[in-house]
């Protein structure tokens, strides 16, 4: 069981929740960082394989779409030619909202496919993340060059450069395959949409291709997971705990008791609406992480812990460079909204990703639904206030609406006009509610994996994989090798 819990935490996401607790950022986008931090402890890859990976740099235009902007910057990428033979397949594993890692090029379905198809493996780092920083992203005006459209053009430049290198230039039969999970899964599909002559096939894993401002369906799916896979009384126990929290907030005496029980910092004014909402974010996040990364056994274990409890344990800081509600110096939880904003403003990756949600995607996991037990204490407008607090008065709800509309118009939402893209989702993963769940066409199929979590198809714990997951991986490999015309791969 301990191994299953550990493995469940390794599954990728490139997607952060825009929540601001040490674990609350775990969700959409930060999964690659989450994965990289834990891989060595789980023994899922041979560290010696990293010797085959080389970090490289390529010059990119600051703005691909303005000929009057002449500034450039250096983008980092990784290369692994361990399996490369002339006319093998060229694979690009797309980085997202976090620092890229060479580990990505040494494991999982990408590594297996490269081994089977004499492939060259590349990994990209997204602009404004990791070491690929065009400008100081702590200055809001500099962030106007951060967008998915600019990132896709970066990938175009990188792939054209790779194809021009002497070792690949003569391999005219080599096909190009993109692989991405979560937000990079979006990018994989969108590259096939906008650059169809450059890309031969793509895997879009757990890709929320539909931008949505108020993503209340996220917590509905979390609730479904707990109702379906948890103990019989679990859903009611969750509702009981959250309703008690809500009742305590209704009186001064209740707030005093709550602050004592939950070790809330004495100077936090918990009558302020935003502070109360941050508290509910923190208490909801343990359920989110188990639904997004877990499995049925993981949820069952959590349910048993809640059976006789009157509270939900907070998740402590996980990454050293992540914001956390916990204050070590005073040994209390700080739920002050504006303290949180100040802290997040100092963290590069958090600033960049929140900017993208405010200008392109939304993805705000609210409680604006009655189909869950978490009460209605995380409204979408809390996130709108975060955009305003982070970037200024122009980043209001109207701008978020416009960004979401433009994104869906550019990429066609749930019906992208693509071929040779496989859309893969786990039905436990809350992000599947914004993904492609039905075949776009015969040449752009959708695959839903029962009881699977976020990006579970991309990485394996091998012996512990259920049969449905093993069969899904075989199917994905079959499609990629069929579409690229490499070998005679068949599904057993």
| Domain residue extents for the chain | 2-209+413-484, 213-406
- Quote the distance between the C-alpha of residue 213 and its chain's center: 16
Instruction: Report the alpha-carbon distance of residue 71 to residue 22 in Å, rounded.
Output: 36
**What pLDDT sits at residue 487?**
60
H-state helical runs in 412-463? none
Which among 314, 321, 236 is positioned nearest to 278, based on CA atoms?
314
Query: 125 and 75 in contact (C-beta within 8 Å)?
Result: yes
∠ CA 328-42-98, nearest 5°, is 60
For the chain, state the CA radius of gyration: 22
Instruction: Report the alpha-carbon distance of residue 291 to residue 4 in Å, rounded.
Output: 14
- The strand pairing partners of 364, in sequence order, are 214
Task: Name the packing angle between helices 296-306 and 217-229 (round to 10°).
Answer: 80
The per-residue pLDDT for range 16-33, each reduced to its tens digit, is 334 333 334 433 445 555
Which among 409, 426, 441, 416 is positioned nearest to 473, based on CA atoms?
426
Query: 458 and 109 in contact (C-beta within 8 Å)?
Result: yes
Residues in the chain with pLDDT < 50?
1-29, 38, 317-323, 490-492
Instruction: Report the alpha-carbon distance of residue 161 to residue 438 in Å, rounded.
Output: 35
The per-residue pLDDT for range 439-448, each reduced to its tens digit, is 999 999 999 9
**What pLDDT sits at residue 325?**
83
Q: What is the CATH number of domain 2-209+413-484?
A: 3.40.50.1820
Instruction: Report the alpha-carbon distance of residue 403 to residue 356 in Å, rounded.
Output: 9
Which among 91, 123, 94, 96 is positioned nearest to 188, based on CA atoms?
94
Residue 423 CA: distances (Å) to CA of 92, 439, 489: 17, 8, 19
Which among 104, 3, 101 is positioned nearest to 459, based on CA atoms?
104
**What pLDDT sits at residue 31?**
56
Residue 281 CA: distances (Å) to CA of 287, 288, 303, 315, 377: 11, 10, 19, 11, 8
Contacts of 256 (CB under 8 A, 6+ apart): none
DSSP 80-94: E-TT--TT--EEEEP
């Amino acid at each position: 069981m301990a191994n299953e819990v550990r493995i469940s935490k390794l599954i990728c996401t490139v997607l952060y929740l825009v929540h601001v607790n040490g674990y609350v950022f775990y969700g959409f986008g930060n999964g690659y960082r989450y994965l990289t931090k834990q891989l060595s402890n789980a023994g899922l890859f041979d560290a010696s394989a990293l010797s085959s990976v080389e970090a490289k740099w390529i010059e990119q235009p600051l703005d691909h779409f303005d000929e009057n902007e002449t500034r450039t910057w250096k983008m980092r990428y990784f290369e692994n030619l361990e399996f490369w033979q002339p006319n093998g397949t060229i694979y690009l594993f797309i980085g997202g909202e976090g620092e890229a890692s060479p580990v990505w090029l040494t494991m999982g379905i990408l590594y297996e496919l490269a081994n089977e198809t004499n492939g060259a493996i590349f990994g990209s780092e997204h602009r404004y993340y990791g070491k690929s920083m065009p400008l100081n992203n702590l200055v809001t005006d500099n962030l106007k060059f951060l967008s998915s459209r600019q990132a896709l053009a970066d990938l175009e430049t990188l792939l054209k450069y790779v194809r021009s290198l002497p070792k690949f230039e003569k391999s005219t039969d080599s096909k190009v395959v993109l692989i991405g999970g979560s937000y990079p899964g979006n990018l994989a599909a969108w590259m096939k949409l906008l650059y169809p002559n450059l890309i031969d096939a793509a895997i879009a894993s757990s890709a929320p291709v539909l931008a949505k401002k108020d993503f209340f369906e996220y917590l509905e799916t979390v609730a479904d997971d707990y109702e379906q896979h948890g103990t019989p009384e679990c859903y009611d126990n969750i509702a009981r705990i959250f309703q008690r929290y809500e009742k305590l907030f209704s009186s001064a005496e209740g707030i005093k008791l709550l602050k004592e029980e939950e070790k809330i910092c004495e100077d936090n004014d918990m009558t302020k609406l935003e502070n109360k909402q941050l508290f509910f974010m923190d208490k909801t996040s343990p359920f989110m992480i188990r639904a997004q990364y877990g499995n049925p056994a993981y949820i069952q274990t959590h349910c048993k812990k809640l059976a006789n409890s009157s509270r939900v344990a907070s998740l402590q800081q996980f990454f050293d460079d992540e914001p956390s509600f916990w204050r070590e110096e005073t040994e209390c939880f700080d739920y002050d909204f504006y303290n949180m904003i100040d802290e997040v403003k100092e963290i590069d990756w958090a600033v960049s990703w929140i900017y993208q949600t405010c200008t392109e995607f939304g993805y705000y996991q609210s409680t604006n639904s009655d189909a869950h037990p978490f009460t209605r204490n995380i409204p979408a407008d809390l996130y709108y206030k975060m955009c305003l607090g982070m970037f200024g008065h122009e980043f209001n709800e109207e701008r978020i609406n416009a960004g979401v509309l433009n994104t869906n118009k550019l990429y066609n939402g749930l019906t992208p006009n693509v071929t040779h893209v496989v859309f893969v989702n786990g039905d436990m993963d809350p992000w599947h509610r914004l993904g492609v769940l039905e075949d776009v066409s015969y040449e752009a199929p959708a695959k839903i994996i029962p009881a699977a979590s976020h990006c579970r198809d991309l990485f394996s714990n091998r012996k512990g994989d259920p049969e449905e997951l093993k069969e899904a991986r075989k199917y994905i490999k079959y499609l990629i090798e069929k579409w690229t015309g490499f070998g005679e791969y068949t599904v057993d």
